[in-house]
């Protein structure tokens, strides 16, 4: 029995899952879907999206679903905060990051005209403002690193590594959060993508 993560190294959702796997200290093999143009992914899962997982013979698709399953089977080093109310908030933030903030990443990556770029930067500015307030006086949103921080980090890290767009210095709390995540994830610099097997 083994875990195989079908992934691409640059996908933010794959990075999110790699961080959860590292927190759970779960060993896994990587199947890089770019190597065979997603052939083995489509063969195994019947669809094109990553992250997908061969979880001890069971096919699991989607970073949120994979995270829930890893938490269930490896409850130590929880990716959720204590208490039902905080857990609900945490899940809502994970969803907001995965479903709303992602849009700003798509917009900035696909912007082909100065107008489109300006619009995408304005979209990011709204999120930076929200996030800077969220991280005011806090290392993490809850009392420890949770899936909300991991999802948010993965989107912002993609913006940094792939789009090469840096969070403006005026967002001090958000920049402090990124630096804190860099240290927690033991990255030498924010230019590295996360690969470690355990945290
Ligand atoms: N909600 C999904 C999103 C996954 C997703 O959008 N994956 C992208 C890469 S970042 C993908 O594989 N796209 C390829 C395609 O749709 O053909 C999750 O959380 O895993």
Asked whether residue 193 is assigned to any structural domain, the reply reads no
111 CA to centre of ligand 1 in angstroms: 19
Q: Which candidate, 127, 126, 176, places its Cα nearest to that of 155?
A: 127
The domain boundary residue, chosen from 33, 49, 73: 73
**Would you say the pTM of this structure is higher than 0.75?**
yes
Q: Is 57 left (phi over 0), alpha (psi -120 to 50) or beta?
A: left
Q: Which residues of 86-104 are buried (b: 16+ CB within 10 A; e: fewer)?
A: bbebbbebbebbbeebbeb
| pLDDT reported for residue 196 | 73
| pLDDT reported for residue 86 | 98
Number of domains in the chain: 2
Confirm if 19 and 185 have CB atoms less than 8 A apart: yes
| pLDDT reported for residue 168 | 98
The residue whose CA has the least distance to atom 12 of ligand 1 is: 49
What residue numbers bound the domain in which 61 lies? 3-73
Q: What is the CATH number of the domain that holds 174?
A: 1.20.1050.10
Report the distance separating Cα 1 and Cα 126, nearest Å.
Answer: 45
| pLDDT reported for residue 1 | 67
Asked whether residue 189 is assigned to any structural domain, the reply reads no
Residue 64 and residue 90 in one domain? no
Q: Which residues of the chain have pLDDT under 70?
A: 1
| pLDDT reported for residue 153 | 98
| pLDDT reported for residue 199 | 81
Residue 139 and residue 179 in one domain? yes
Asked whether residue 191 is assigned to any structural domain, the reply reads no
Residue 101 and residue 27 in one domain? no
Asked whether residue 79 is assigned to any structural domain, the reply reads no
The domain boundary residue, chosen from 73, 98, 117: 73
Residue 8 and residue 48 in one domain? yes
Report the atom number in ligand 1 closest to the C-alpha of 49. Answer: 12
| pLDDT reported for residue 161 | 96
Residue 93 and residue 165 in one domain? yes
51 CA to centre of ligand 1 in angstroms: 7
Residue 90 and residue 59 in one domain? no
Residue 106 and residue 167 in one domain? yes
Asked whether residue 194 is assigned to any structural domain, the reply reads no
83 CA to centre of ligand 1 in angstroms: 30
The residue whose CA has the least distance to atom 6 of ligand 1 is: 49
């Amino acid at each position: 029995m083994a875990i195989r993560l079908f992934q691409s190294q640059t996908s933010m959702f794959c990075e999110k899952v790699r961080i959860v796997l590292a927190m759970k200290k779960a060993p896994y093999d990587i199947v890089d879907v770019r190597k065979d143009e997603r052939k083995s992914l489509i063969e195994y899962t019947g669809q094109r999206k990553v992250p997908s997982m061969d979880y001890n013979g069971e096919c699991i698709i989607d970073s949120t679903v994979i995270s829930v399953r890893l938490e269930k089977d490896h409850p130590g080093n929880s990716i959720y905060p204590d208490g039902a109310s905080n857990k609900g908030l945490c899940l809502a933030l994970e969803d907001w990051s995965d479903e709303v903030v992602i849009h700003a990443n798509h917009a900035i990556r696909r912007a082909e005209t100065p107008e489109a770029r300006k619009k995408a930067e304005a979209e990011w500015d709204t999120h930076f403002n929200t996030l800077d307030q969220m991280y005011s006086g806090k290392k993490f949103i809850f009392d420890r690193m949770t899936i909300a921080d991991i999802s948010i980090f993965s989107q912002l890290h993609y913006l940094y590594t792939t789009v090469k767009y840096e969070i403006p210095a005026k967002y001090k709390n958000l920049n402090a959060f990124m630096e804190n995540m860099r240290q927690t994830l033991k990255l030498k610099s924010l230019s590295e993508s996360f690969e470690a097997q355990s945290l």
